[in-house]
Amino acid sequence: MNRYKLLTPGPLTTTDAVKKQMLEDRCTWDDEYKSITQQIRKELVRIAGTTEDKYTAVLMQGSGSFVVESVLTSVVADEDMLLIIANGAYGERMAQMAKIIGLQHEVYNVPYNEYPTLQHVEELLKDQNFTHIAIVHCETTTGILNPIAEIGNIAKKYNATFIVDAMSSFGGVEMNIEELQIDYLISSANKCIQGVPGFGFVIANKEKLLDTKGTARSVSLDLYDQWRVIDVDGKWRFTSPTHVVAAFAEALKELAEEGGVKARTARYAANNAYIRQRLAKVNMHAYIDEAKQSPIISTFLFPNAEFNFQDFYENMKKTGFVLYPGKLTDVDTFRIGNIGDVSIEDLSVLCDAIDQYMGVNV
Ligand SMILES: *Cc1c(COP(=O)(O)O)cnc(C)c1O
3 in a structural domain: no
Tell me what pLDDT residue 42 has: 98
**Which of 187, 222, 256 corresponds to the end of one domain?**
256
Q: Which of 66, 87, 168, 185 to mutate to test the pocket of ligand 1 (most atoms within 8 A of CB)?
A: 168
Residues in Cβ contact with 279 at an 8 Å cutoff, skipping those fewer than 6 apart: 285, 286, 300, 336, 351, 354
Contact 115, 142 (CB under 8 A): no
74, 211: one domain:
yes
In eight-state DSSP terms, residue 291 is G
pLDDT band (50, 70, 90) for residue 329: confident
The answer to whether residues 79 and 216 belong to one domain is yes
Mean pLDDT of the chain: 97
Q: Which of 6, 61, 90, 184 to mutate to test the pocket of ligand 1 (most atoms within 8 A of CB)?
A: 90
Q: How far is the CA of 65 from the centre of ligand 1 (A)?
A: 6
**For residue 9, is it within any domain?**
no
Q: Does any domain span residue 227?
A: yes
Which protein residue's CA is at the shortest distance from atom 12 of ligand 1? 167
Residue 145 lies in a domain: yes
Question: Each residue of 52-75: pLDDT tens digit?
Answer: 999 999 999 999 999 999 999 999
Tell me the DSSP string of 13-77: ---HHHHHGGGS---TTSHHHHHHHHHHHHHHHHHTT--TTTEEEEEEES-HHHHHHHHHHHHS-
Contact partners, residue 67, CB within 8 Å, separation at least 6: 60, 186, 188, 199, 200, 201, 202
CATH for 301? 3.90.1150.10
- Residues contacting ligand 1 via CB (< 6 Å): 9-10, 63-65, 68, 90, 136, 140, 165, 167-168, 188
Q: What is the pLDDT of residue 10?
A: 84
CATH number, domain at 193? 3.40.640.10
Give dist(CA 54, CA 46) in Å, integer. 11
d(CA 26, CA 142): 38
Q: Probe ligand 1: pick from 8, 12, 63, 339, max atoms within 8 Å of CB? A: 63
On whether both 107 and 134 belong to a single domain, the answer is yes
How far apart are the C-alpha atoms of 227 and 204, rounded to whole Å? 10
Question: What one-letter code names the amino acid at 317?
Answer: K
Please tell me the distance between residue 127's alpha carbon and the centre of ligand 1 in angstroms. Answer: 31
Verify that 248 and 267 share a domain, yes or no: no
Question: Taking 60 as the threshold, does the pLDDT of residue 1 lie above it?
Answer: no
**Residue 220 domain-assigned?**
yes
Indicate the residue among 223, 256, 289 that finishes a domain.
256
pLDDT tens digit sequence for 138-180 = 999 999 999 999 999 999 999 999 999 999 999 999 999 999 9
Pocket test for ligand 1, best of 136, 146, 167, 191 (most atoms within 8 A of CB): 167
| pLDDT tens-digit map of 76-99 | 999 999 999 999 999 999 999 999
State the amino acid at position 34 in one-letter form: K
Q: Residues 177, 61: one domain? A: yes
- Domain assignment present for residue 80? The answer is yes
- Cβ neighbors of 263 (< 8 A, separation 6 or more) are none
Q: How far apart are CA 107 and CA 85, in angstroms?
A: 6
Nearest CA to ligand 1 atom 5: 64
Instruction: Give the residue from 296, 304, 291 showing the smallest Cα distance to 270.
Output: 296
pLDDT above 70 covers what percent of the chain? 99
Whether residue 352 has pLDDT greater than 70 = yes
pLDDT, average across residues 97-114: 98
Distance 90 CA to ligand 1 centre (A): 7
4 in a structural domain:
no
pLDDT, tens digit (0-9, with 9 covering 90-100), for 301-325: 999 999 999 999 999 999 999 999 9
Residues 197 and 336 in one domain: no
Classify residue 242: in a domain, yes or no: yes
The predicted-structure confidence for 176-215, as pLDDT tens digits, reads as follows 999 999 999 999 999 999 999 999 999 999 999 999 999 9
Counting atoms of ligand 1 from 1, which one is nearest the CA of 140?
Answer: 15
**In this structure, are 276 and 249 located in the same domain?**
no
Asked if 120 and 94 sit in the same domain, the reply is yes
pTM of the model: 0.97
- How far CA 295 is from CA of 69, 151, 180, 270, 298, in Å, comes to 26, 20, 19, 8, 8
**Are 239 and 276 part of one and the same domain?**
no
Residue range(s) defining the domain that contains residue 353: 260-361
- Residue 361: is its pLDDT beyond 90? no
Domain shared by 252 and 328, yes or no: no
Strand pairing class (105-109; 82-86): parallel
Number of domains in the chain: 2
Q: Tell me the pLDDT tens digit for each residue of 24-44.
A: 999 999 999 999 999 999 999
For residue 295, pLDDT beyond 70: yes
132-136 and 82-86 beta bridge pairing: parallel
Q: How confident is the model at residue 218 (pLDDT cuts 50, 70, 90)?
A: very high
Cα–Cα distance measured from residue 8 to residue 255, given in angstroms and rounded to the nearest whole number: 19
